[in-house]
Amino acid sequence: MEGTDMKYIYYPGCSASGTGRGYEESTLPVFEELGIEMVTLEDWNCCGATAYMSVDEAKAFALSARNLALAEDQFPDMDEVHIVAPCAACYLGLLKAKKYIDTDPKIGGTIRKALQSAELDYTGRAKVRHPLDVLVNDYGLDKLKEKVKRPLTGLKVAAYYGCQIVRPYSDFDEGHDPQTMDQVLEVLGVEAIEWPHKTRCCGGAQTWSSDPFLELVWIILKDAIGSGGDAVATACPMCQFNLECFQNKIRAKFDYQKKIPVVYFTQLMGLALGIDANKLGMNRLFERLELPASV
C-alpha cells in the first residue's frame, strides 16, 4: 500500500463532533487521500483536558490512561501503538498523562491500579502523535509534494501553532519557533509568512469570560494581518474558535476594521490535494477563504 506502512489509531476527542468539526472533516479525508491508514479508537473517552486537569490531576490522568490502555488493547501485537490526536488539548492531555505515568512511579502506580480495577493495562507501548508530527516525520514532505494536485500558489498564510502542541512535553518541533506547519504549507505551494506570534496564547477558555483576553486574540490577528497573511492556519479547535468567533467583538473593542479567515491547516491540505472545499468542512467558516486567482 502507499502512504506509510504504519498503522495509526485515531483519537477524535470531543471537539471533533462539536466546535472543531471542520478539523475532523478535513483531517480524515486528507489522511485517506495520502493513504495513511487510521482506525478510530474504540470506546474512547474524554482526554481529561485542561479544565479537569486543574480540578483533579489523578482523575484526569486516569481518563487519559484509559484511552492509552484501550489503544494498546486494540493493537495487541504491535510493539508501538501510535495514537494520532489532532486536537491540541487532547494531544497535550494524553502526552502529559503518558509522561507522568511513565516517569513518576507514584502516579504511575495509582493510575495502573485504577486501570486494573477496570481490567485494563497500560504497558507504555502507546505513543501519542500529532498529525503534523506524522506528516513530517513518518510520511515525509517529499511524498506529500508528489500528492499535491492543486498548488495553492500565491496564498499567504500565517501558520499559528498555539501553545499546546509544541510545549512543554512534545518534542517534534521547536517550542518557541516551530517550523513543521510552515514546512507542510510551503509544500502545498502556500507562502508561509514570517511572523513572531506563532505560539502566542489565544486566550484559551478565558475568551468567554473576560474582555482583557480579547486583547490576546487581537494581538495575534493584528500581527497575522500586519505581516501580510491572507489567512491564519491553526492546528487546534480552541485556537481556531477563538481567532474566528471573536473578530466582530474585537473590531468593535479596538476599532479595527480588518478581517481574516482562520482555517485548519488540514483544510488547506485538502484543497491542495484536490478535495472539494465542502467535503473539508470549509462551508462552516465564518470568514470564507478566498483563493487567489493564481490557484
Partner 1 sequence: MYEKEIGMTTPELKPNGEKSRIGVYICHCGTNIAKTVDVEALREFAEKLPDVVAARTYKFVCSDPGQKMIRDDIQDPDLKVNRVVFVGCTPRLHEMTFRKVISEAGLNEYYLQVANIREHVSWVTPDKEEGTEKAKALLAGAVRRVHEHEALEQRRVPVNPDVLIVGGGIAGITAALTIADAGKKVYLVEREPSIGGYMAKFDKTFPTLDCSACILTPKMSSVKSHPNITLWAYSEVAEVDGYVGNFKIKIRRKPRYVDEDTCAGCYDCVEACVFKKPKFPDEFEVGMGLRKPIYIPFPQATPLKAVIDPNTCLQLTTGKCKQSCAEVCSKNSINFDQVEEIKEIEVGTVILATGFKAFDPVRSPEYGYGKYDNVYTSVEVERLCNAAGPTGGNVVLRDGTTPKSIAIVHCVGSRDKKTNAWCSRACCMYSLKLAHLVKERTDGEVFNFYIDMRTPGKSYEEFYDKILDEGVHFIRGRAAEVRNWALDEAEEGKLVVRAEDSMMGVVRRIPVDMVILSVGLEPHEDANEVARMFNMSCGTEGWFTERHPKLAPVHTFTDGVFIAGACQGPKDIPDSVSQAGAAASEVLALIDKGYIELEPNTAFIDEDKCSGCHTCIALCPYTAISFNEEKGKAEINEALCKGCGTCVAACPAGAAQQHHFTDDQIYEEIEGVLEYV
> Beta-carbon neighbour count of residue 49 at 10 Å?
26
List the one residue from 18, 109, 140, 175 that touches partner 1 (CB under 8 A).
175
Task: For residue 228, state whether it binds partner 1 (rule: CB under 8 A).
Answer: no
Chain-centroid distance, C-alpha 177: 17
The alpha helices in 162-274, defined as continuous H runs, are 180-187, 212-226, 237-245, 247-253, 265-272
What is the pattern of x (binds partner 1, CB under 8 A) and - over residues 16-35?
--------------------
Cis peptide before 86 (omega within 30 of 0): no
**Taking CB under 8 A as the rule, does residue 197 contact partner 1?**
yes
Decide: residue 113, CB within 10 A, 0-12 exposed, 13-18 middle, 19+ buried. exposed
For partner 1, the closer CB: 138 or 215: 215
Q: Which stretch binds partner 1 (CB under 8 A): 77-85, 184-192, 193-201, 205-213?
A: 193-201
Query: Which range, of 19-27, 53-61, 122-130, 171-179, touches partner 1 by CB under 8 A?
Result: 171-179
Q: Least CB distance from residue 175 to partner 1, whole Å?
A: 7
Does 14 contact partner 1 by CB under 8 A?
Answer: no
CB-nearer residue toward partner 1: 174 or 191: 174
Among 14, 193, 205, 219, binds partner 1 (CB under 8 A): 219
Q: In angstroms, what is the minimal distance from the CB of 105 to partner 1?
A: 21
Question: Segment contacting partner 1 (CB under 8 A): 11-19, 117-125, 195-203, 230-238?
Answer: 195-203
Annotate 59-98 with three-state secondary structure. HHHHHHHHHHHHHHHHCCCCCCEEEECCCHHHHHHHHHHH
> To 10 degrees, the CA torsion angle through 84, 235, 217, 225?
170
Q: Which listed residue (32, 33, 138, 174) binds partner 1 by CB under 8 A? A: 174
Residue 164's contacts (CB-CB under 8 Å, 6 or more residues apart) are: 88, 89, 91, 92, 236
C-alpha cell at 28: 480524515
Among 54, 79, 142, 176, binds partner 1 (CB under 8 A): 176
CB of 177 to partner 1, least distance (A): 3
For partner 1, the binding residue among 80, 102, 121, 177 (CB under 8 A) is 177
The CA-based angle 208-209-214, given to 5 degrees, is 65
Is beta strand 81-84 parallel, antiparallel or unpaired with respect to 7-10? Answer: parallel
223 lies in the binding site for partner 1 (CB under 8 A): yes
210 binding partner 1? (CB under 8 A): no
Q: Which residue, 290, 237, 244, is CA-closest to 23?
A: 237
For partner 1, which is the closer residue by CB, 208 or 254? Answer: 254
- Report the interface residues with partner 1, using CB under 8 A: 174-177, 195-197, 219, 223, 226
